[in-house]
Amino acid sequence: MTYPDVGGDCLQAGVLLLLFPRRGRLFFYLTKRTETVLHHRGQVSLPGGERHGSETPVQTALRETNEELGVSLAGVSVLGRLTPLYIPPSNFCIHPVVASVPRPPACRPHAEEVAELIEAPLLRLLDPSASRRECRKFRGRQFEIPYYDFDGCKVWGATAMVLAEFAALFDP
């Protein structure tokens, strides 16, 4: 996908919203990035990363999730894709993919990339009280920033936008 406002030179990436069951409920993984990664240090995000060669967004999202979380994605079912999103600060165009696995995967997060692995309950994402806003100053101006609160963990920016689109699929 090409974004007309940035031309074709943005970096292509895939991210994965991986659903899995635990205790009769659905969860998905979020990662808190380390302070040593190149982009989006310390932020909470979906697992994913930059496309290699001629990979499709789905192949990229699956490979990157395997690398970051150290998971086997045997039995994964790709459910679909969400709207691609351009992230100006890092010049990435992310392609969100939604998939599921039949049981919780055993994870061995890559320590250089993942500071913390978060199992986020889908029901929390769908709870209106999880969606919040706060004011932040950026380049001398105040902005109201939407975010999701997962037990004190703030998920904002592109990841919050992807999650909002996914949550909207459940809205009657």
Q: Is residue 1 part of a domain?
A: no
pLDDT tens, position by position, 107-165: 998 877 888 999 999 999 999 999 999 898 878 889 888 899 988 888 988 999 999 99
- At 163 the three-state DSSP class reads helix
Domain membership of residue 23 as a residue range? 11-122
Section 7-14 average pLDDT: 83
Q: Is residue 150 part of a domain?
A: no
Return phi, psi of residue 105, to 5°. Answer: -75, 150
Cα(16)–Cα(49) distance, rounded to whole angstroms?
Answer: 9
Q: Is residue 44 part of a domain?
A: yes
Q: Is residue 33 part of a domain?
A: yes
The total number of structural domains that make up the chain: 1
pLDDT tens, position by position, 38-62: 555 557 889 998 999 999 999 999 9
Q: Is residue 168 part of a domain?
A: no
Indicate which CATH number applies to the domain containing 43. 3.90.79.10
Binned at pLDDT 50, 70 and 90, residue 35 comes out as low
Q: Is residue 22 part of a domain?
A: yes
Q: Is residue 131 part of a domain?
A: no
Range list of H helices, 16-138 = 57-69, 122-126
